């Protein structure tokens, strides 16, 4: 193994090279290649992000979707059961039998007529891809199974991440279930919901809370990982994104391999949007799909770096040469003004998304758009998802709120098929949910009004009743008549 800095040593029994895959710099002008058994998160030559690329002359690509359908009859095999590894033929960066699975990716794409009406499309056109069903309760497990497998492949003993909560919950879960590696997680102070923090603590991860926000934790964890040779599992790690491609494969599988018109996804560190773009680009190259759906990435208004750069400043991928000066200028201005991300959707409260460049590329591949939504719009959409679909955490509901705006603008037509990604489980962040539905004005003010949320028009208030049979019966009968 060629060592990139001080990195964990390879186990002697690890097969050195898996011939079908390599790491490649995403900058077309550079294109430097690295073996898959190297641990790195950036190109040595030019500092750009890396992709995992495949040499299809060394491993036969899947020629039809039937390859994956056949795996269903073999789901007694954990790698055929896994919603990530049953698509191994589309991410063959290491031997499938060595891949780690904890049963990730058993997710559901369901049609939600109620949410469809809210968004403004025909009721049968709105689909919710519910990633909250993953073992740790968010989409992160798709990527974690891939990064964690790679970490094992290269013999890592410790894995680290910075997190707004879900990545850390996922890493902590993989570590505790498999007992292969110790998890070290970095979180910002007061920036993580209790649901997510409780997971990291309960699964026994070494949890380091630093003063600062996610961006501070993100830059610190990179430094610490370099210093101590710890394997980094944030989505800056290209193997993570290979796992996250499979969310799109499962969407297609659920639609019997028909391509939807729109994929709508919340944007934070921009790993998902980048992975989805790559998934569709590759499927198109392989001839498994004949058209690529459009992508809408939705920022919270209080954390809208991508929106500002793309929609306000006109920054584009531009054949691998995005306007770096403009991007740098934006960040300098942000720092000079002391502007820090702030949103009730704490999962996406991020100033400097690490996958920005990959996301710009995905927007180009998928003729993408970016929108921002307020915390009010996020919570109203979340209440609609809860009432007419499966519940989700605030960040996830940004997708539904964003789809609604795009329909109103006429960008999404009412008869187009739209898939909104619900990235995390409802129970990840009950504080925001209870504050929205509560009677308690003080609690509402404390949690929501301070963030510009003025009303809760879809609130389902608990009914206060005396503990008396007749009174209770009266309430139930009255409610039943409505």
Which of 70-78, 97-105, 391-399, 430-438 is the region at the interface with ligand F0G (rule: CB under 6 A)?
Answer: 391-399
Q: Give the nearer residue to ligand F0G in terms of CB position, either 279 or 348.
A: 348
Position 163 contacts ligand F0G (CB under 6 A): yes
Q: Give the nearer residue to ligand F0G in terms of CB position, either 127 or 358.
A: 358
Binding positions for ligand F0G, 222-251, rule CB under 6 A:
235
Work out which of 101, 138, 145, 225 binds ligand F0G, going by CB under 6 A: 138
Specify whether the backbone of 429 is left (phi greater than 0), alpha (psi in -120 to 50) or beta.
beta
Position 268 contacts ligand F0G (CB under 6 A): yes
Tell me the β-bridge partners of 54. 21
Rounded Cα distance between 34 and 50, Å, is 9
Q: Give the nearer residue to ligand F0G in terms of CB position, either 155 or 267.
A: 267
Q: Give the nearer residue to ligand F0G in terms of CB position, either 116 or 266.
A: 266
Tell me the β-bridge partners of 295. 263
List strand residue ranges (DSSP E) for 220-368, in order.
231-232, 262-266, 294-300
Rounded Cα distance between 237 and 221, Å, is 13
Q: Show Cβ contacts of residue 71 under 8 Å, excluding neighbours closer than 6 positions.
A: 80, 86
Which of 17-25, 49-57, 158-166, 205-213 is the region at the interface with ligand F0G (rule: CB under 6 A)?
Answer: 158-166
Nearest approach, Cβ of 354 to ligand F0G (angstroms)? 8
Judged by CB under 6 A, the number of residues near ligand F0G is 22
Q: Hey, what are 94's tokens?
A: 């290491």
Buried b (16+ CB within 10 A) or exposed e, 70-104: ebeeeeeeebbbbbbbbbbbbbbbbebeebbbbeb
Binding mask 58-97 for ligand F0G (x = CB under 6 A): ----------------------------------------
Work out which of 8, 135, 165, 386 binds ligand F0G, going by CB under 6 A: 165
Position 395 contacts ligand F0G (CB under 6 A): yes
Work out which of 134, 149, 164, 222 binds ligand F0G, going by CB under 6 A: 164
For 482, half-sphere exposure in the C-beta direction (CA atoms, 13 angstrom radius) is 5
Position 424 contacts ligand F0G (CB under 6 A): yes
Tell me the β-bridge partners of 406. none
- Residues near ligand F0G (CB under 6 A): 138, 140, 163-167, 235, 266-272, 347-348, 393, 395-396, 423-424
């Amino acid at each position: 193994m060629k060592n990139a800095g001080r990195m964990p040593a390879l186990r002697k029994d690890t097969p050195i090279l898996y011939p079908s895959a390599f790491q490649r710099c995403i900058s077309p002008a550079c294109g430097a290649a690295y073996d898959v058994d190297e641990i790195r998160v950036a190109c040595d030559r030019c500092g750009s992000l890396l992709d995992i690329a495949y040499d299809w002359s060394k491993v036969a690509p899947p020629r039809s979707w039937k390859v994956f359908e056949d795996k269903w009859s073999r789901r007694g095999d954990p790698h055929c059961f896994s919603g990530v590894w049953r698509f191994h033929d589309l991410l063959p960066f290491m031997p499938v039998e060595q891949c780690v699975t904890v049963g990730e990716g058993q997710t559901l794409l369901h049609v939600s007529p109620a949410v469809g009406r809210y968004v403004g499309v025909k009721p049968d056109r709105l689909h919710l891809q519910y990633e909250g069903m993953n073992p740790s309760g968010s989409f992160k497990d798709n990527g974690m199974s891939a990064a964690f497998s790679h970490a094992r492949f290269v013999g890592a003993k410790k894995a680290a991440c910075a997190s707004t909560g879900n990545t850390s919950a996922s890493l902590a879960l993989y570590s505790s279930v498999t007992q292969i590696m110790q998890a070290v997680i970095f979180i910002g102070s007061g920036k993580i919901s209790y649901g997510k923090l409780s997971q990291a603590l309960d699964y026994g991860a070494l949890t380091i809370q630093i003063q600062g926000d996610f961006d501070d934790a993100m830059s610190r964890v990179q430094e610490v990982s370099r210093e101590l040779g710890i394997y980094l599992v944030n989505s800056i790690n290209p193997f993570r994104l290979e796992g996250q491609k499979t969310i799109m494969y499962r969407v297609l599988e659920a639609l019997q391999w028909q391509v939807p018109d729109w994929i709508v996804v919340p944007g934070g560190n921009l790993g998902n949007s980048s992975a989805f773009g790559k998934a569709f680009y590759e499927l198109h190259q392989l001839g498994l799909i004949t058209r690529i759906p459009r992508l809408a990435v939705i920022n919270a208004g209080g954390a809208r770096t991508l929106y500002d750069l793309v929609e306000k400043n006109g920054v584009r991928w531009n054949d691998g040469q995005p306007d770096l000066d403009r991007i740098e200028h934006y960040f300098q201005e942000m720092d000079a003004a002391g502007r820090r991300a702030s949103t009730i959707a704490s999962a996406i409260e991020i100033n400097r998304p690490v996958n920005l460049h990959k996301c710009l590329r995905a927007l180009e591949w998928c003729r993408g758009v970016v929108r921002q939504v307020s915390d009010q719009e996020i919570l109203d959409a979340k209440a609609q998802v809860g009432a007419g679909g499966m519940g989700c955490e605030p960040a996830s509901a940004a997708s539904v709120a964003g789809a609604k705006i795009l329909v109103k603008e006429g960008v999404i037509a009412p008869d187009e098929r739209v898939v909104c990604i619900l990235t995390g489980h409802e129970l990840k962040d009950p504080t925001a949910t209870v504050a929205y539905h509560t009677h308690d004005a003080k609690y509402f003010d404390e949690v929501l009004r301070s963030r510009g949320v003025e009303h809760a028009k879809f609130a389902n208030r608990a009914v206060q009743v005396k503990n008396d049979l007749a009174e209770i019966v009266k309430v139930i009968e009255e409610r039943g008549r409505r």
